[in-house]
């Protein structure tokens, strides 16, 4: 399932950009590189925060709506599920289109 993975990558990046734009974080900096670094840092913190909420709710049996809301704020309400395997050649075969 590529779509959930893509959404969970893109949505936090866009959210980081929006948070930086709305709060003015980094806009007093003269360097575009510094601006980008602040945006990526905020996006990373955004992802970690909501992913942690998802995990804590899942492990502690919290309300399903909270887990769903945290997932939705990451772009897709359900976390991706990956098959556990030690078969490296099989993993490589699965990763190819």
pLDDT in tens, 18-61: 877 777 665 555 577 677 778 888 888 888 888 889 889 988 98
User: Tell me, what's the pLDDT at 85?
Assistant: 65
Per the prediction, the chain carries an average pLDDT of 78
Q: How many Å apart are CA 21 and CA 8, to the nearest integer?
A: 20
Burial of 96 (0-12, 13-18, 19+ CB in 10 A): exposed
């Amino acid at each position: 399932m590529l779509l959930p993975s893509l959404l969970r990558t893109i949505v936090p990046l866009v959210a980081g950009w929006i948070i930086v734009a709305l709060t003015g974080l980094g806009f007093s900096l003269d360097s575009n590189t510094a601006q980008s670094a602040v945006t990526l840092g905020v996006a990373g913190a955004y992802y970690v925060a909501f992913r942690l909420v998802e995990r804590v709710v899942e492990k502690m049996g919290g309300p399903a709506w909270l887990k769903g809301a945290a997932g939705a704020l990451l772009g897709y309400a359900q976390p991706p599920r990956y098959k556990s395997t030690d078969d490296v050649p099989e993993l490589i075969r699965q990763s190819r289109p």
